[in-house]
Homo-oligomer: A and B are copies of this chain.
Amino acid sequence: MSLLVVGSVALDSVQTPFGKRDEMLGGSAVYCAIAASHFTRVRLVGVVGEDFPRDAVELLRTRRIDLSGLEIKRGKTFRWGGVYSEDMNERTTLNTALNVFQDFRPRIPDESRRTAYAFLGNISPSLQLNVLDQMERTRFVAMDTMNFWIDRAREELLSVLRKVDAVLINESEAKQLSGNSTLVKATRIIQELGCHTVLVKLGEHGCYHVCRDECFVAPAYPLEVVRDPTGAGDSFAGGFMGYLSQVGRSDARTLREAVVYGSVMASFAVEDFGVEGLVELTDTDIARRYEEFRQLVSF
């Protein structure tokens, strides 16, 4: 099986207490695609400008990511700059230049329309709907979103929600979307809005997953050093969707395993700047950390 990933491709400038990096390869589709590439064949759909660095393309190619859906448009690549607080719990955006991403209209290449697994990164709900319209015979689609769309495009967002198999969302967004500030109820309400599988990302508290009537809780990997939290959620999505695509199933047991693979990939991502923590991983690294997650919860 293979996985289609739609989202942003960016050049990020990030400052954390551990250092500063300028114009690193980033964006939701990139983190998700690289994380997923350890599990399955990935087709990336996104847009970049003519200034997109050749070595960034090379890096994606070394991960065998299909770039036929990566449009190169006249203009500049999306850029984002941010700084994290001393304790990493707060992030301030210093600058955002959407550039060619402003008018992103995802176009799924003909040969990718029947990709069975898809992840809709954080783009406007109307674009997410448009992607779904271009797809045929999907088996499992997950979406991400953010507070901005919950505020500004709630109805379209609910339309996407009813068409996908899983929603990945962080805790404050789950509470905002549901209008309820307790985790268990918020999740139940989101299910009632039309999506049977909901995954709430809790940062250093791990992840709360419900699939129909079944709950599953996965911890976060207890890292003492987090160098750069950027991309944690999308790396989670990559591990989660990559694994589902690899095994070609999405029953309750497989979803639990996928949640743990998501947590594994997120933990690797935040250990280093940008995608550096993800690119060089071996299957053994991933398998070892997966087993560490089992140890972490076993009693």
Contact = CB atoms under 8 A, between A and B. Distances in A.
Contact of A299 (B185, B208, B260): B260
**Copies of this protein, total:** 2
Interface in A192-222: 202, 204-206, 208, 215-219, 222
A89 interface: yes
A140 B215 CA distance: 34
Contact of A204 (B89, B184, B215, B218): B184
Interface residues of A, number: 34
A94 interface: no
Interface stretch (A24-32, A159-167, A175-183): A175-183
Given A202-B205, A206-B217, A217-B219, A224 B297 contact: no
Interface in A28-78: none
Contacts of A204: 182-184
A79 interface: no
Contacts of A217: 206, 219, 222, 296-297
Contacts of A299: 216, 218, 253, 256-257, 259-260, 294
Residue in A205, A216, A260 whose Cβ sees the most chain B Cβ within 10 Å: A205
A126 B259 CA distance: 46
Interface string A109-137: 00000000000000000000000000000
A224 B294 contact: no
A87 interface: yes
B87 A223 contact: no
Given A216-B299, A219-B217, A259-B299, A224 B181 contact: no
Interface of A: 87-89, 180-185, 188, 202, 204-206, 208, 215-219, 222-224, 226, 253, 256-257, 259-260, 294, 296-299
